Chain A
Amino acid sequence: MFARRLAGHLARGLVMILVVTTVSFFVIRSVPGDPMAARYEKLVEQGMSPVAAQRAVEVLYGFAPTGGLWQQYVDYMSGLLRLDLGQSLMVPGVGVSTVLFSAAKWTVLPVLAGTLLSFLVGVVMGVYAAIRRSGRLGDVLAISGSLLHGVPQYVLALLLGAVFTTLLPILPTSGTADIMFEPGFNAGYIGSLIEYATLPVLTYALASYGGWILAMKSSVVTVLGDDFILAAELRGIKRGIVFRYVARNAILPLFTILALSLGMLFGGAIFIERIFNYPGLGLMLIDGINNRDYALMGGAFLLITVAIIVANIVADLFYTVIDPRVRSGEGAA
């Protein structure tokens, strides 16, 4: 049962990856501006012979594309089969996977921290907003949630950046760590890392907090209206136990959203990274696009796709653990 479910997911995931890779391969290469051709023409203009210019370009980038677009596509796909994402153009001579990997650590940890932080706080506040929905506390929580949910990430980032550079200059607003510390596993460097990550994490958490509180509030309100909650109260079940009934049932639908937003880990923080000059995947992707680094773009898109597919699979399998209705495969609504 479990294995068959997993196998089905994997098969669908592979098809999805194939489609996304193919589409992004051709879309990326239809963007005007070929960096190798540009470099080659520049060298020729500077008086180099065509052959010498071609060789110079090859030396610079470490490889030369051969054949037409279809030939390149076949080469690219067969490279993917060997988990080879190709060569970066922006950082000549370096593999795309190396570039991606070095940038990913600056995205995954802060975004993960921001997501989990906002999830925990948002869910707890959502419960309060639901229970106190006819009082002032509920109003304040719901309205603040709606406001934060409505403000775009980059506005929040600019706002926080402005506040912490002018009014309250206690937190660094650019970079990943103070250069006076030796990178490595030492207290000073790690402390500095945390200090520099605070604003990006805080911005990300604030930007997603509104969504969590609103989702949890409506979920709790729905469950509170369910018959089995009244039934439990009429059986004299203790308040604490009834509360757990409500919480467990209400949080179920939020796990789907959580899994999907974890899938967005690799592509979700472009504005924040740009504004706080944080060298994560988002920033790298922007540079890659500006430099027409085809392989890097393709690799980044592939990474995002795989992450989302994996998140979906994890969410679905997680459900079979936490929701008995899914487990037995006859899910009554």
Chain B
Amino acid sequence: MSVTPEKKAPGVRVSGLSVVYRTSAGELPAISGIDLDLVPGTITGVVGESGSGKSTLALSLLNAVQPPGRISAGSVEIDGLGDVVKLRGEELRKARGRHIGYVFQAAQNSLNPLKTVGKQLLDLGRSHDVADLRGLVREAKDLLGRMGMDGARVLDSHQHELSGGMRQRVGIMLALVLNAHLVVLDEPTTALDMITQATILRIVREVHEERGLTTLVITHDLGVVAEVADRLAVMYGGQVVEQGPTMEVLGAPRHPYTQGLLRAIPRLVGDIDEATALPGRPPTLGTIPERGCVFRDRCVLRMDVCETEKPPVVSLGASIALCHAVEAAADRDGRADIPRAGGLQEVVGAQGATGVHEVRGEQP
């Protein structure tokens, strides 16, 4: 590493975060009342289907929800920045890029097609008042080189001259080159082939560890999460329905949705019919129920109380789930520790740096 990070990995505390979108049918919630902590120095994975609100959550971390959406409640506290939701104008612009790096989905074209990567790098440097532009270019070449590319050549290229995997690495470089220590990756491997996927994930993991980052990975692919994430949050209908250490959530899922997701994954070996799809469809912006549990229409454990009451937060071990059925089961077993207080902090304590290697060890 040519740069010794003077900043430490920041912690992020999302609390009570709600985002609404203005539609002809009024303001509809895309995410509602999300509580999520990103522990300094960890990789958190957020999984969910299309429309579950995971990209909206990612954009909220930069206070960049696009109109007609807006953050209607809650806060996003980032160490060293304060509440991002309250940032405006130049303060907000300078936080983006400098403190928070954002990596776009590979299939998206996140580069200006008319300018070379190098020129866009210089635009980035000038926007953040980098005095030593030569140093910035050196740093960029170094990063690209460490990701297995010819830095000088890439900086001299236009977007259309780069492959999907190369573009994605350029995106990662641009997110890191200003030494941001909170990195948000939105679907970093979507639309990439398997080999490139594996390469990108390895790079994410390596860079994360070397630079001491706090990383959030948004994906719909449980495999990706199992590969890189220390902690996992499962989103459904605009809510985080279960979260905890990756190993624990995937190894012993509590929420019926997480269980259904895992059952739906086809295995490499064995009968394809062992994978059973979740019946029904995920809710859209207009069909998210206002009361009760968002998942009840597709839930096998559905009870009467799910219609009317918001699911409680149930802590079990190091993970938490939002579910009436989980609560009922826990009550029967007599080991529920409701209310939620302290749940996440315990997770932090229990989650060692080795957690991820254990998860990796289980991968075929």
A contacts, CB < 8 Å to B: 226-228, 230-239, 241, 245, 248-249, 252, 322-325, 328, 330-332
Q: A233-B64, A236-B94 are in contact. Are A323 and B114 (CB under 8 A)?
A: yes
From the candidates B64, B66, B97, B159, name the one contacting A237 in the complex (CB within 8 A).
B97
Known: A241-B123, A324-B158. A234 touches B112 (CB 8 A): no
Can you name 14 A-B pairs with beta carbons within 8 Å?
A228-B111, A228-B113, A230-B64, A231-B110, A233-B96, A234-B62, A234-B64, A235-B127, A236-B95, A236-B96, A239-B93, A241-B127, A245-B114, A245-B115
Q: Is B128 an interface residue (CB 8 A)?
A: yes
Q: Which of A232, A235, A245, A325 has the most CB of B within 10 A?
A: A235
Contact B112 A227 (CB under 8 A): no
Assuming A230-B66, A249-B114, A324-B114, is B109 touching A235 (CB within 8 A)? no
Q: For residue B97, which residues in chain A have a CB less than 8 angstroms away from its CB?
A: 234-237
Residues of the B chain whose Cβ atoms lie less than 8 Å from the Cβ of A322: 114
Within 8 A of A (CB), among B92-128: 93-98, 102, 104, 108-116, 123-124, 126-128
**Residues of chain A contacted by B174 (CB below 8 angstroms):** 235
- The interface on chain B, measured as residues whose beta carbon lies within 8 A of the other chain's beta carbons, has a size of 32
- The answer to whether B158 and A228 have CB atoms under 8 Å apart is no
Chain B positions within 8 Å of A, measured between CB atoms, are 62, 64, 66, 93-98, 102, 104, 108-116, 123-124, 126-128, 158-161, 171, 174-175
| CA distance in complex: A325, B111 (Å) | 13
**Docked complex Cα distance between A249 and B95 (Å):** 26
Which residue in chain B gives the minimum CB-CB distance to A327? B158
A234–B126 touching, CB < 8 Å: no
Known: A236-B95, A324-B113; 10 extra A-B contacts, CB below 8 A, are: A227-B108, A227-B109, A228-B159, A231-B108, A236-B96, A236-B127, A237-B127, A249-B112, A324-B114, A325-B158
* Contact between chains at A325 and B96 (CB < 8 Å): no
Cα A322 to Cα B158 in complex, Å, equals: 13
Q: Is the CB of A238 within 8 A of B66?
A: no
Which 10 pairs, one residue from A and one from B, show the smallest C-beta to C-beta distance?
A236-B97, A231-B110, A236-B96, A227-B108, A235-B97, A332-B160, A234-B102, A238-B127, A324-B158, A237-B127
Which residues of chain A are within 8 angstroms of B111 by Cβ–Cβ distance?
Answer: 228, 231
How long is the Cα–Cα vector from A88 to B116 in the complex, in angstroms? Answer: 55
B126: contacting residue among A230, A233, A238, A252, CB under 8 A: A238
Q: What's the A-B contact tally at a CB cutoff of 8 Å? A: 83
Q: B66 touching A236 by the CB < 8 A rule?
A: no
B123 contacts which of A226, A237, A330 (Cβ < 8 Å)?
A237
Does A236 lie within 8 Å of B113, measured CB to CB?
no
Q: Is the CB of B126 within 8 A of A235?
A: no
Distance (Å) between the CB of B315 and the closest chain A CB? 34
| A241 engages B126 (CB within 8 Å) | yes
CB contacts (< 8 Å) of B126 on chain A: these are 238, 241
From B68, which residue of chain A is reached at the shortest CB distance?
A134
The chain B residue sitting closest to A239, CB to CB, is B93
A235:B66 contact, CB within 8 angstroms:
no
A17–B95 Cα distance when bound, in Å, is 60
Tell which of A231, A241, A252 has the most Cβ of chain B within 10 Å: A231
Contact A325 B160 (CB under 8 A): yes
The residues of B that contact A232 with a CB separation of less than 8 Å are 112, 123
State the CA gap A234–B109 with chains docked (Å).
14
Complex Cα distance, B96 from A231, in Å, reads 10
Residues from chain B with Cβ under 8 Å of A332 in the complex: 113, 160
Q: How far is the CB of A236 from chain B (nearest CB, A)?
A: 3
Check B104–A330 contact: CB distance below 8 A: no
Distance in Å from the Cβ of B55 to the closest Cβ of chain A? 11
CA distance A234 to B64 in the complex (A): 7
In the complex the two chains form, what is the Cα distance from A330 to B116 in whole Å? 16
Choose among A236, A324, A328 the residue that contacts B98 (Cβ–Cβ < 8 A): A236
Given contact pairs A230-B66, A237-B127, A325 touches B102 in the complex (Cβ within 8 A): no
Contacts A235-B124, A238-B127 given; does A227 touch B95 at CB 8 Å? no
Query: Which single residue of chain A is at the shortest CB-CB distance from B123?
Result: A241
Residues of B within 8 A of A248 (CB): 114
Least Cβ–Cβ distance between A8 and chain B, in angstroms: 22
B104 neighbours in A (Cβ, 8 Å): 227, 231, 234
A226 to B114, CA, bound (A): 13
Neighbour of A227 across the interface among B98, B110, B114, CB < 8 A: B110
Given contacts A227-B109, A248-B114, A324-B114, contact A236 B128 (CB under 8 A): yes
Chain B: minimal CB distance from A88 (Å): 49
A236, B120: Cα distance in complex, Å: 12
B146 to chain A, nearest CB (A): 20
On whether the beta carbons of A237 and B113 are closer than 8 Å, the reply is no
- Chain B residues, CB < 8 A from A239: 93
Q: A236 touches which one: B93, B116, B171 (CB < 8 A)?
A: B93
A252 to B115 CA separation, bound complex (whole angstroms): 13
Closest beta carbon of chain A to B41's beta carbon, Å = 23
Nearest B residue to A232 by beta-carbon distance? Answer: B112
Please give the distance in Å from A124's CB to the nearest CB on chain B. 20
Distance between B307 CB and nearest chain A CB, rounded to angstroms: 39
A324/B160 in contact, CB under 8 A: yes
Nearest CB of B to A221, in Å: 13
A325 to B127, CA, bound (A): 26
Complex: how many Å from CA A227 to CA B108?
6
How far, in whole Å, are A234 and B110 apart by their CA atoms in the complex? 10
Query: How many angstroms from the CA of A241 to the CA of B112 in the assembled complex?
Result: 11
Distance from A224 Cβ to chain B, minimum over Cβ atoms (Å): 11
Assess whether B102 is in contact with A235, with CB atoms less than 8 Å apart. Answer: yes
Question: B96 to A249, Cβ gap below 8 A?
Answer: no
In contact, A330 and B160 (Cβ under 8 angstroms): yes
- Which residues from chain A contact B98 at a C-beta distance below 8 Å? 236
Query: Whole-angstrom distance between the alpha carbons of A238 and B108 in the complex?
Result: 21
* A248 nearest CB neighbor, chain B only: B114
User: Closest Cβ of chain A: how far from B136's Cβ, in Å?
Assistant: 13
Distance (whole angstroms) from the CB of B172 to the closest CB of chain A? 12
